[in-house]
Amino acid sequence: MAGAEEMKIFGEHDQATLAQIREVARGAERAALMADGHVGYVMPIGGVAAYRGRVSVVGVGFDIACGNAAIRTDLRLSGLADAGGADRRLEELADEIQESLSFGIGRRNESGEAPVNHPLFEDPAWEAVPGHAREGLRQKARAQLGTVGSGNHYVDVFVDERESIWVGVHFGSRGFGHAVASGFLALGQGAPWGRRVPEREVLLSLAQPLGQDYWQLMLLAGRYAYAGREWVARRVVALLGGKELELVHNHHNYAWQERHGGEDLIVVRKGATPAFPGQQGFVGGSMGDDAVIVRGTLPGLDPAVEQLQQEALYSTVHGAGRVMSRTAAAGKRRRRTGEVLKPGAITREMMTAWLRRKGVVRRGGGPDESPHVYRRLPDVLAAQQGTIEVLHTLRPLVVVMAGEDEFDPYRD
């Protein structure tokens, strides 16, 4: 099993995060921690772990196949202006996105264009869900396909360094993935599907039926998340009146069968983006910071970088990484009355001032997602020590999220 001396850690982290990845490494063959890492359930966000023939249920996480998708359009920033000017058009666009897409927990996607009859709903993998729960989960999944959720999930419109307009989205497999993760966390601890059990490490062997069932449903959740993100991103492109020129799309809460060091391994990335040489990824900053399109550094440039890429298991960051919890940022309020029980460190005025300076039009979101609670993305990228290169820098124009009072257990 991996030891601390075999584990590559990018960037600087608190002791709790380091303790989590060290504990994960004890049960894995290899492990690494990306520069945006912070504490998660059992395995830290930004953690990567490789296993022989086993998959970690809490490693993949509750938001199976959460990820980012970005579309470069044929539009230019100058082309967004209408008779009222570019600022007015961006305000209108923010309203259109908020009104035509579904944000928040448990929302139904009532758009007639939503892919609720996607072939994935007839996939044989559904048979791995216990019979008493199967149809209910399938119907929930249909209703939520193409919904964005809440928390740190978003729909953004960006402009790059060449004035090209991009659409970016971040969310996962919603209630479907959450139910699969919860169900197999229970089954792996000897409890029935649907019973709540402690969030602890559960490693399932792919040589056993239970592991195979989980793997097939994880793959299905991956298809589900891809379908939802692409539909939402393309819906926004249509609202813009543009055409799709390029799609960059990755999961960052997922497991893959890969070959590393001449060995076939199961690589679990929890809040980490695959970054093999030449592979592109979309990495967000925060609602008030630039995002980037990156790719894994190409081989032949620097042997030291190639070594680092191997140690990272060809992975990179998925975002800037939180430095403040939601409660610390926004405080604590009584849910029914809104009474402030504990004030937060970040005020709405602080968040609004940051976005105003950046020129971002915002709908939804709250102080718990303010740029103040995140690292700065350029610092995080630099800490990846040349293992990735930035292809495009994306400045946010419009950010749309769920309302700040929305609670969502399906977020990563």
Q: Which of 147-151, 179-183, 271-275 is least confident?
A: 147-151
Q: Is 11 part of any domain?
A: yes
d(CA 393, CA 188): 43
Q: Does residue 410 belong to any structural domain of this protein?
A: no
222 domain residue, yes or no? yes
29 or 405: which carries more pLDDT confidence? 29
Q: Tell me the C-alpha distance between 395 and 357, whole Å.
A: 12
330 is a domain residue: yes
Q: What is the pLDDT of residue 407?
A: 52
Residue 203 has pLDDT above 90, yes or no: yes
Per-residue confidence (pLDDT) for residue 411, from 0 to 100: 45
- 280-292 mean pLDDT: 96
In a domain, 409, yes or no: no
Structure confidence at residue 14 (pLDDT): 96
Q: What is the pLDDT of residues 134-164, one digit of tens each?
A: 999 999 999 999 999 988 999 999 999 999 9
How far apart, in whole angstroms, are the C-alpha atoms of residue 141 and residue 153?
18
pLDDT average, residue stretch 372-399: 97
Angle between helices 131-144 and 174-187 (to 10 degrees): 150
Phi and psi at residue 175, to the nearest 5°: -65, -25
pLDDT score of 3 more than 60: no
Q: Which two tokens stand for residue 189?
A: 């601890």
Determine the Cα–Cα distance for residues 379 and 381; give it in Å rounded to an integer: 5
Residue 130's identity, in one-letter code, is: P
CATH number of the domain residue 275 falls in: 3.90.1860.10
Give the pLDDT band (50/70/90) at residue 2: low
- pLDDT(343) > 90: no
Q: How far is CA 370 from CA 161, 288, 292, 310, 345, in A?
A: 24, 7, 18, 34, 11
For 6-30, the pLDDT digits (tens) are 699 999 999 999 999 999 999 999 9
User: Among 109-113, 155-159, 396-400, whose mean pLDDT is lowest?
Assistant: 109-113
- Which domain range does residue 24 map to? 4-403
Confidence class of residue 364 from pLDDT cuts 50, 70 and 90?
A: very high
312 part of a folded domain: yes
- Which helix (H) or strand (E) is 377 found in, with range? helix 377-382
Summarised one tens digit per residue, pLDDT across range 302-334 is 999 999 999 999 999 999 999 998 889 988 876
Residue 398 pLDDT more than 50?
yes
Does position 410 have pLDDT exceeding 90, yes or no?
no
User: Is 408 inside a domain boundary?
Assistant: no
Residue the block writes with tokens 């749309």: 400
Please state the domain count of the chain.
1
Say if pTM beats, i.e. exceeds, 0.75: yes
pLDDT of 1 above 80: no
Q: How far apart are CA 121 and CA 111, in angstroms?
A: 18
- Residue 209: which residues within 8 A CB-CB, separation 6 or more? none
| pLDDT for residue 301 | 79
Domain-located, residue 49:
yes
**Whole-number mean pLDDT of the chain?**
93
Q: Is the pLDDT of residue 338 over 70?
A: no
Rounded to the nearest 5°, which phi and psi values hold at 356? -65, -45
- CB proximity list for 118: less than 8 A, separation 6 or greater: 145, 227
CA neighbor of 60 nearest in space, from 209, 192, 180, 187 = 180
**Residue 72, token pair as written in the block:** 């470069």
